[in-house]
Amino acid sequence: MSHFSQIKTQIRNLTSLKAALSDLEIDWKSGSKEVRGYQGQTRPAEITIEQDNGYDIGFCWNGSEYELVADLQFWQQPIPVQLFVNKVTQRYAYQTVVSQSNKQGFQIAEQQQNQDGSIRLVVQRWSA
């Protein structure tokens, strides 16, 4: 019986996911790797976050989005799993907005981190 849990996300862009993890100063590895779990079980993942206890966290493509995959019994992060997913998702959304804005010729004019944890962005584009 597998101990792995799959947590659905709305994450679909690998580049933005990598940038989000880097923003959060999470040490991650890219490429087709194996997430290590209970009793030597593994799952393939595009992103792997190794934990000191030998049980990994991964992001796996399920055909429509990247799911977080981990054996939650061995979760060894400083924050609970749902808060971890929320933080990654917020930084992913930020990176996606910035990337898409840049592609359309916009630049960040103002950025504000609010007390509630939300981020306010103002983008602008100059036209001739």
Tell me the two tokens of residue 117: 């944890």
3-state SS track over 54-119: CCCEEEEECCCCEEEEECHHHCCCCCCHHHHHHHHHHHHHHHHHHHHHHHCCCEEEEEEECCCCCE
pLDDT-derived band at 3 (thresholds 50, 70, 90) equals confident
- Helix H or strand E segment including 29: strand 29-36
Size (the chain), residues: 128
Mean pLDDT score, 46-74: 95
pLDDT per position as a tens digit, 34-52: 999 888 889 999 999 999 9
Q: Measured between alpha carbons, how far is 92 from 38 in angstroms, rounded to an integer?
A: 29
Residue with more model confidence, 91 or 33: 91
Domain parsing of the chain, residue ranges: 5-124
Instruction: Express each pLDDT in 19-38 by its tens digit.
Output: 999 999 999 999 888 999 88
CA atoms within 13 A on the CB side of 113: 3
State residue 38's pLDDT score.
86
